[in-house]
Amino acid sequence: MSDTHARTTAFVRDTMLPEAPAPIAQRGAVKWLRENLFSGWMNTALTLASLYVIWWLLAHITPWFGNAVWNANSLAECRAILDGRSGACLGVIRDRWHQLLFGFYPPQHYWRPVLALVLLFGALAPMLFSNLPRRLLWLSALYPFVAYHLLWGGSIWIPVVAAAGFGVGALAWRLITPYTALGAILAALVTPILWWVLAAGAVAGALTSVAPLGLEFVRSDRFGGFLISLVIGISGISLSLPLGVLLALGRKSDMLLLRSVCIIFIEFIRGVPLITLLFTASLLLNYFLPPGTSFDLILRVIIMVTIFAAAYIAEVVRGGLAALPRGQYEAADSLGLDYWRSMRLIILPQALKISIPGIVNTFIGLFKDTTLVVFIGLLDPIGLSNAIRADTSWNGIYWELFIFIGALFFVFCFGISRYSMYLERKLSRGHR
Amino acid sequence: MATTAETFPRKVFRPSMLLYDKRYRSLTIQVVVLFLLMGFFAWLIDNTLTNLAALGRDFSFRFLGQTAGYDINQRLIDYNSQMTHGRAAVVGLLNTLLVAVLACVLATVVGVLAGVLRLSNNWLVAGLMTVYVEIFRNIPTLLWILIIFAIMTEAMPPPSAFRGEDATSSMLLWDTVAVTNRGVYIPEPLFSRSLGVIDMGSFLISIDLLAIVAVVGLSIWANKRLLAHATAVQNATGIRPKTWWKSILILVLPIVALLVVLGFHLGYPELRGFNFAGGTHLRNSLIALWFALGIYTGAFVAENVRSGILAVSKGQTEAAFALGLRPGLTMRLVILPQALRVIIPPLISQYLNITKNTSLALAVGYMDLRSTLGGITINQTGRELEGMLLMMLIYLVISLLISGAMNVYNARVKLKER
């Protein structure tokens, strides 16, 4: 066998060939291009179409930004400088950025909203990063009062007295708990309300007359621009989450009446556009409240936005609750936990984790929807862009303002969505 | 045995059980909630009545029968300013539904395209689509509506630019479509041998339209019968008769014949005087609302489509290939039915969002339900309470209808589990 083999084989290589590089079409950029962009006629057509789109966009946008004029005090001046070329008139941003950000907030007090925003990140830190000491959460709980005082100002005793209401409630609970648990809960609910309704005004007034401390008061109608979007958005977000969770629990409750009330509420709110709720806040609330009551428009809007977002969050959380296996509920019951403990310790942590993407989407939607307040006369960025255009020197300017406002919203919303993705990855336990 | 039974306390009702016994506690809570609710509503109604009395007003919907006295520039049914507020509201409602349907169609087309392309192997296309989705999702709808409105009114040529020998602008698509800063003019369908209209008292129905709907419906029904017959033959003999040319004949021939009989032709827009005449005029407000809502919601639909396709596991494709199905059939018979189950429910809630977002029409002066009933009517009659309640009710009914449709669909495609 080996003989025949040796005879018929004319040549046997006994050394290895030197390693040759892969053909040019199979490596590096060429291979990548062939595989990703030109793998077939369809793909090639798509690539060429995309290249055309990109080129078209760049051809229009680049000169527009390239020729941007910053140093102009009116659109006419801008056009004179541009001399017929296409170009952005960013002078309007330089001239009016403070209005787009703060509205008509007094310029000498700009540090107050800025400080409130910085403190917000401080207050959020203990909630976002679980490795910080838990005691910092007390500072987060104080934040709403600090922020209120920074933004609106007035006597410092108003937020202090309001915060004291919670202290009164806690105190009542402490005092009564040894005697009767139920009474303690009732007292903890009732005493703060009594405090706010009966005592708070008088106490705050007395303290103010004794020690008139506080920042200068800024009226709500001076608020505007991105500041108002943030105030409404952030208050709405933080208030709607607990309310939404409660509504979701109510909708899954065994009690018929409670469940029906929650379902009717949720479906009603989800069925009407936000704008009708805002009009209700601005036009109809006067009908529903006792004669002579009137309170701040921003506060009314915050309430409406909160209710609106809470209904959506309730649906998202309900999805999370439904996605939990039944065994989790049964396990919690078999441990002997009562309803609230089983919810707090077993069910909600898991359900909320599942619902994070939906909750964040609701938040982003809520934040974008704050622009609707322009319809009831609040000066959000879009309302201000109309106001700026009404000025003779900037009459007819559109794109620069729209791009600036759009970019502000984009940065915030995109940032939130990326953070939620990070949170999802961090919280995922590797099983579905 | 008997002794253990006796050691249990006898079932006696004590008042404390209302609080500490789980069976009675829920009853207690519900009664308390009921009283609180009744008190709350009584308080609200009492306040409202007091306030109405103080203003010297009553609560009635009679204003719907009064003369409206304002014009609506876009109407699908006959309307003039001498007609009632109620009719103006109906015109507005129809405008709302019109723009909602248009935007839903556009959002679906854009969303499906973008969602599929985002999964493409082509790096450039996938990247472009990601940029589209992220930019549109993260900027408020209202801003998009205003931007597209500004593009239409500021960046498009005025009708005068189409005039003369050296016109700076020209009409698109073989001189049939004119895009101007006053709106878009497209050809309109006309019938030279029209069958006339039926007068239904408050509105008119075109017999031509009825005939077309009837013929198309009949053809579709006949085609269904044909396909069912083909399936029956296939089940009996194993060979499916060729039906495609019959299908085309059944679907195309009757409608073409009807259009010829009716003398169907297109009326093209023409420049006359200072403006275009003839054709259908799509106002800038409609275009802005339609495209802004369509493209904005399209970004959300794209994400739904993408996640729906990704939700079908790769094993399904491989199993289909192992059965010998070709890629086209695999897509149609295996992937799509499963992906659609994931895609459709969020798609329908996007439709719901579009319908509610049409209320932003206010920003561009589109005369929808909110601008007619909830806007001018309220301002003229001062009936904000009744008007807003009625408007909310209408939106609520539309929403409930759409979500009802979604529930029906969900029940139909639910996984049939044992």
Do B370 and A374 lie within an 8 Å CB cutoff?
Answer: no
Kindly state the average pLDDT of the residues B153-166: 75
> What does the block give as tokens for B70?
């304002």
Place of tokens 């306040």: B47
Query: What is the Cα–Cα distance from A78 to A94, expressed in whole angstroms?
Result: 13
Residue B6: the pLDDT is 53
With bands split at pLDDT 50, 70 and 90, how would you rate the model's confidence at B173?
low
For A347, the enclosing helix (H) or strand (E) is none
Instruction: Give the up-direction half-sphere exposure of residue A70: CA atoms within 13 A in the CB hemisphere.
Output: 3
User: B19 in contact with A at a CB cutoff of 8 Å?
Assistant: yes
The answer to whether residue B248 scores a pLDDT higher than 80 is: yes
The answer to whether residue B106 scores a pLDDT higher than 90 is: yes
B220-228, long-range: CB < 8 A, 24+ apart: B220/B251, B222/B250, B223/B247, B223/B250, B223/B251, B226/B250
The answer to whether residue A126 scores a pLDDT higher than 60 is: yes
> What does the block give as tokens for B226?
């044909």
Residues shown for chain B: 418
Cite the DSSP H helix spans in A91-200: 91-102, 111-128, 137-152, 157-176, 181-194
Kindly state the average pLDDT of the residues A212-241: 86
Chain B contact set for A273 (CB, 8 A): 356-357, 359, 370, 395
pLDDT tens digits, A401-417: 888 899 999 998 998 88
With 0-12 / 13-18 / 19 or more C-beta atoms within 10 angstroms meaning exposed / middle / buried, residue B11 is exposed
Residue B1: the pLDDT is 45
**pTM for the complete prediction?**
0.84
Dihedral in degrees, nearest 10, Cα atoms B44, B45, B47, B51: 140
Residue B192: the pLDDT is 76
Residue A124: the pLDDT is 82
Residue B296: the pLDDT is 94
Going along B192-328, which residue ranges are E strands? 197-199, 204-206, 264-267, 270-272, 275-277, 280-282
Quote the DSSP letter at residue B156.
S
Percent of chain B with pLDDT over 90: 19
Chain A contact set for B134 (CB, 8 A): 414
- Least confident among A235-244, B140-149, B330-339: B330-339
Task: Please say whether the beta carbons of B121 and A39 come within 8 A.
Answer: yes
Distance of alpha carbon B180 from the chain centroid:
27
pLDDT tens digits, B37-81: 999 999 988 888 888 888 888 777 888 888 878 888 877 777 777
Kindly state the average pLDDT of the residues A298-318: 90
Instruction: Give the up-direction half-sphere exposure of residue B105: CA atoms within 13 A in the CB hemisphere.
Output: 6
Query: What is the Cα–Cα distance from A106 to A109, expressed in whole angstroms?
Result: 6
What b-and-e string marks burial along A189-221, b requiring 16 or more CB atoms within 10 Å of the CB?
eebbeebeeeebeeebeebbeeeeebeeebebe
The answer to whether residue A432 scores a pLDDT higher than 50 is: no
Angle between helices A399-427 and A91-102 (to 10 degrees): 50
Residue A8: the pLDDT is 67
Query: What is the Cα–Cα distance from A218 to A227, expressed in whole angstroms?
Result: 13
Kindly state the average pLDDT of the residues B402-412: 83
> Chain B neighbours among A 231-250 (CB < 8 Å)?
none
Task: Please say whether the beta carbons of A262 and A251 come within 8 A.
Answer: yes
Do A47 and B50 lie within an 8 Å CB cutoff?
Answer: no
More confident residue, B9 or A120: A120
Average of per-residue pLDDT values in chain A: 84
pLDDT tens digits, A170-179: 888 888 877 7
With bands split at pLDDT 50, 70 and 90, how would you rate the model's confidence at A298?
confident
User: B135 in contact with A at a CB cutoff of 8 Å?
Assistant: yes
Query: What is the Cα–Cα distance from A406 to B139, expressed in whole angstroms?
Result: 6
> Chain B neighbours among A 156-185 (CB < 8 Å)?
182
Query: What is the Cα–Cα distance from B36 to B183, expressed in whole angstroms?
Result: 55
Quote the DSSP letter at residue A398.
-
Do B19 and A286 lie within an 8 Å CB cutoff?
Answer: no
Percent of chain A with pLDDT over 90: 10
Q: Of A74-88, A195-209, B225-239, give the range with the top mean pLDDT.
A: B225-239
- Least confident among A77-81, A161-165, A282-286, B18-22: B18-22
ipTM above 0.90, yes or no: no
pLDDT tens digits, A31-69: 888 777 777 788 888 888 889 999 998 988 888 888 878
Q: Angle B149-B151-B156 (CA atoms, 0-180°, nearest 5)?
A: 115
Query: What is the Cα–Cα distance from A131 to A128, expressed in whole angstroms?
Result: 9
Kindly state the average pLDDT of the residues B259-275: 76
3-class DSSP state of B400:
helix
- Least confident among B63-72, B123-132, B384-393: B63-72
Query: What is the Cα–Cα distance from A55 to A2, expressed in whole angstroms?
Result: 68
User: B54 in contact with A at a CB cutoff of 8 Å?
Assistant: yes
| Type of residue at B117 | L
Residue B363: the pLDDT is 85
Query: What is the Cα–Cα distance from A104 to A13, expressed in whole angstroms?
Result: 87
The answer to whether residue A87 scores a pLDDT higher than 90 is: no
Chain B contact set for A410 (CB, 8 A): 135, 138-139
Do B139 and A368 lie within an 8 Å CB cutoff?
Answer: yes
Query: What is the Cα–Cα distance from A30 to A409, expressed in whole angstroms?
Result: 39
Q: Which chain B residue's Cα is nearest to A32? A: B123
Query: What is the Cα–Cα distance from A258 to A114, expressed in whole angstroms?
Result: 42
The answer to whether residue A341 scores a pLDDT higher than 70 is: yes
Kindly state the average pLDDT of the residues A377-393: 84
> Chain B neighbours among A 401-430 (CB < 8 Å)?
402, 405-406, 409-410, 413-414, 417
Average of per-residue pLDDT values in chain B: 83
